Amino acid sequence: MTKVSEDMKRATGVQKRPGSTSWHWGIKVPSDLKHLYAGQWAHRCSLETADLRDANTKAAGLRAEWMDRFKRQREAREASKQAPVPVKLTAALIKEACDLTRAARMRCLVCT
């Protein structure tokens, strides 16, 4: 490791595991997205470098990717919360529902 690497500050999520010469990176699951993940970590990986400068560069890219992913997951969640579009029940839709009900050999109370 160079003197520059020893004096550099680690980027968010960059760490060195005991006994490893490579830097690793991890990002925890945001509390509002925990239902989408199995554990506390959204992603953990080796940065496959012993140089902190390289590790910080790789970590910045990974962090940007994961922050964008979290943003898209939040947007998808919000989109799914929107009220469903109401369907106007027409005679044709009611007849189709009754036909499907009859096809399933169930008694249709509307048509009897």
26 three-class SS: strand
pLDDT in tens, 39-74: 999 999 999 999 999 999 999 999 999 999 999 999
Mean pLDDT of 10-23: 96
Q: pLDDT over 70 for what percent of the chain?
A: 84
Those residues whose C-beta lies under 8 Å from the C-beta of residue 5, and which sit 6 or more positions away, are: 51, 52, 53
Please give the helix or strand (H or E) that residue 4 lies within, else none: helix 3-7
- Please state whether the predicted TM-score (pTM) of the whole model is above 0.75: no
63 vs 3: which has the higher pLDDT = 63
Comparing 68 with 79, which gets the higher pLDDT? 68
The predicted pLDDT at position 1 comes to 47
